[in-house]
Chains A and B, each alone.
Chain A
Amino acid sequence: MTAPLRDPAHRVSRRAITLWLLEALIGFALLVGGSVLVASWIDGSGWSWLPSWVSEHIWWLPVALAVVELPFVVIEPLWRYAVHRWELSGDVVYARSGWFSRQWVFVPVSRIQTVDKEQGWFERILRLATVEIRTASYAGSSSIKGLDVGVAARLAEDLAHRAHELRDDAT
């Protein structure tokens, strides 16, 4: 964190780790499953134009993918939990997200056009919610994932209320 920006005040809910873990596991299963399909297809096809070392060792592909990918399944949720933070102060929403690459977003409440609270499947099971904050520009829009349902509802309501009072239509 060498950019001269302080950490936003609040962490997201701890249950967000579980959410990211579930999402990572699904991605992992799809990737490895897909590579198994590809491998069995190539194994059975007997294509002669492939170099022999490819078709003989094709089953290394899913194995290698699984070995490389597995640590990330665990690392990503933890890393994200360390990075994802948010704050609403001085009528500005300040949020940080990402893991390998990170992103800071500043959205002044006066420019907010819509605030949505969304819940996906897993989020509903885990009692989490996402707050989507939209302005007239993609680069001034933010979505804060992994908030506790109660926190998200309160934040969305506060934002909507404040935005209504402050609305500035220079854009």
Chain B
Amino acid sequence: MPGAKSLLRLVACGSVDDGKSTLIGRLLYDLGAIPDDQLEALARDSRSIGTRGGELDFALLVDGLMAEREQGVTIDVAYRYFATEKRTFVVADAPGHTQYTRNMATAASNADVALLLIDARKGVLTQTRRHAFIASLMGVKQAVLAITKMDLIGYDKTRYHRIVSDFVALAETLEIPRLAAIPVSGVGGDNIVARSASTPWYDGPTLIELLETAEPSEADRADRPLRMAVQSVARPNLDFRGFSGRLSAGRVKPGDAVRVLPSGRTANVARIVTADGDLPEAIAGQSVTLTLDHEIDCSRGDVIAAADAPCEIADQFQATVIWMSDTPLFPGRRYGLKIGAAQANATITEIRYGFDIDSFQHTPEKQLDANGIGVCNVSLDRDIPFDPFERNRETGGFILIDLDTGETAGTGLIHFALRRAHNVHWQALEVDREAHAAIKGQRPAILWFTGLSGAGKSTIANLVEKRLHSLGRHTVLLDGDNIRHGLNRDLGFTPADRVENIRRIAEVAKLMADAGLIVLVSFISPFRQERELARGLAKQGEFFEIHVDTPLEVAEQRDVKGLYKKARAGQLKNFTGIDSPYEPPARPEIHIDAVNTSPADAAEAIVKAIGAAISR
């Protein structure tokens, strides 16, 4: 194939007003990458909304969205493309202000080189430290330091060298091994494409020369052990069964021994099938379809790896998590995890520590807020194949998905497995849950009462338990207030503690249901996700979400325990309905209108509704 240029991916990062858009715009302009009609539009825009008094304002070339032009800042990661004789370039342009961590991490994820901008007048700022830290975290091992706005300090050589040495000290602590610095001016075009006459003391390459010669950061990835995440199984007819995917590392030839993970089974590669004919060899980066010499189990999400150098398998590992959602990360909450083509359910079991992004110091954290970074223990509901992130970004990086909204809530970089998953087996119980329930002559169930404080949950739950008891059922009642005195007395009422509170109750309810009991749980349980977690632990058809629906005004008026009064007076923090949210169930199994129904009627209705489910 022609077009035999190589590709280099850059992440451009800088603070507000350090001239990043101007520099990129200037680079495109000097390379002749701006078509005439866009230049005309630029000249027009420069006169109407430019900030350079009618002179060409190069920043307008790259500040795309209307809202950005109005505010004069960049909102989201933007991608630009340009080419020289030797190379084609993709620049991920990361904004330097709000959401900087999220945007920087995203933009840096595929980058070979970080282009770090420093305003010559200001030197190394907190923002610079943050950007360098995130770039290093995301595995970018190469940085080009562009000291901008040299024209505004009269091309002062001493000042330039001082900034560079400040940064070199920083880069050493961050493990960015390859570093180059260059004095530039976007407005004047100094040392960008053409050498500047104003910096005779600088004899290094121009910016474009530096970028043309920089080594892609994973240049050796074809020499590492084979990794291919299986995206799909191609089965066009009975005689063909191929595994489609893109090689993230290594190379493969027909005859090579491969191992399918997590199953661990081995086979030899028979053919490398593409629409252009069978290939004698495929290398990292290529999308292919492999057939094997004999049938083995292999499906989407599995990894085909070199047989003698496979990846690791685990369901628990330690990872650095970068949080991106406005809803904080809470330990105990369940998230969707995607790595390669594999998906699993994940729980952060512990935040070991967070990072202060300005000092790089470790900090204790109970939750991670948007743009927070922490080293966490992660537990999955199944084994996944992985490599440490330092060794392979594609098999070591994952995203976390909010199961409620579907948004990408965070990302993680795997460090190591916490234990070898395949050494752990569930204890096979001979007296199983079926036996427990059978001896009691019933089927287990979990009745989960949720609603505001003072809604009448406990009153109704008590009546339901009495009624079931009189019918000869074996029951147990877990009540919020009582559990908080014992099992959960170490927990407070912050959102993070509420999540953990419910997680423990959900686990206890499950154990008791396994013992054959009908479990009544009476907890405010304000968050939809934790109730869904409890539902997920129960067996299909055994979980009944009962919404005791009392409007806030009514509950507050009743105020049986006097808590609303205290909360309103500011004496109780994080009180549900007042300064902590209640998320009502969308589709509860049973809905109780607790204003117009007496507790006795409500209890009778519930017993009736579950009658069939608990009878053998």
A and B bound? no
